[in-house]
Amino acid sequence: MPRFLAVVVLAIATTCAARATDWPTFLGPTRDGSSPEKGVISPWPAKGLKKVWDCDLGSGYAPPVVADGRLFHADRFGDSIRLTAREAATGKQLWKYEYATEYEDRYGYDPGPRACPVIDGDRAYLYGPDGVLCCVAVATGKELWKVETKAKHFFHQNFFGAGSVPLIDGDLIIVCVGGSPKGPRPADLRDAKPNDSALVAYDKKTGAEKWASGNELASYSSPVVATIDGKRTGLYFARGGLLGFDPQTGKIGFHYKWRARSEESVNASNPVVVGDKVLLTECYGPGAALLDLKGGKPKEVWTDADKDAGDKAMACHWSTPVHQAGFVYGSSGRHTEDADIRCIELATGEVKWQKRRTKRCSLTLIDGYLISLSEYGDLALLKANPAKYDEVSKYEVPGLEYPCWAAPVLSNGLLYVRGKDKLLALELIAKK
Render pLDDT for 410-424 as a digit per residue (tens, 0 to 9).
999 999 999 999 999
Evaluate if residue 126 carries a pLDDT over 80. Answer: yes
- Residue-range domains of the chain with CATH: 108-406 (2.130.10.10)
299-353 confidence digits (pLDDT tens): 999 999 999 988 999 999 999 999 999 999 999 999 999 999 999 999 999 999 9
The whole-number pLDDT of residue 287 equals 98
The whole-number pLDDT of residue 10 equals 34
The whole-number pLDDT of residue 428 equals 98
Identity (one letter) of the amino acid at 288? A
The whole-number pLDDT of residue 18 equals 37
Mean pLDDT of the chain: 94
Evaluate if residue 20 carries a pLDDT over 70. Answer: no
The whole-number pLDDT of residue 326 equals 98
**With pLDDT > 70 as the criterion, what percentage of the chain qualifies?**
95
- Prediction pTM value: 0.94
How far is residue 329's CA from residue 332's CA, in Å, rounded to a whole number? 9
The whole-number pLDDT of residue 14 equals 34
The whole-number pLDDT of residue 2 equals 45
The Cα angle at residue 162 between residues 158 and 164, in degrees rounded to 5: 120
At 432, the pLDDT band (50, 70, 90 cuts) reads confident
Give the CB-side neighbour count of residue 141, counting CA atoms within 13 A.
Answer: 17
Mean pLDDT within 16-44 = 87
Evaluate if residue 63 carries a pLDDT over 70. Answer: yes
The whole-number pLDDT of residue 427 equals 98
Mean pLDDT within 87-109 = 96
DSSP state of 161: B
Mean pLDDT within 235-259 = 98
List C-alpha distances in Å: 138 to 69, 112, 114, 129, 278.
11, 21, 20, 21, 34
DSSP state of 80: E
Evaluate if residue 173 carries a pLDDT over 80. Answer: yes
DSSP string, 229-282: TTEEEEEEE-SSEEEEE-TTT--EEEEEE---SSSS----SPPEEETTEEEEE-
The whole-number pLDDT of residue 216 equals 98
H/E stretch holding 10 reads helix 2-20
Mean pLDDT within 16-40 = 86
The whole-number pLDDT of residue 279 equals 98
Evaluate if residue 162 carries a pLDDT over 90. Answer: yes
At 199, the pLDDT band (50, 70, 90 cuts) reads very high
The sheet carrying 224-228 orders its strands as: 224-228, 231-237, 241-245, 252-257
The whole-number pLDDT of residue 311 equals 94
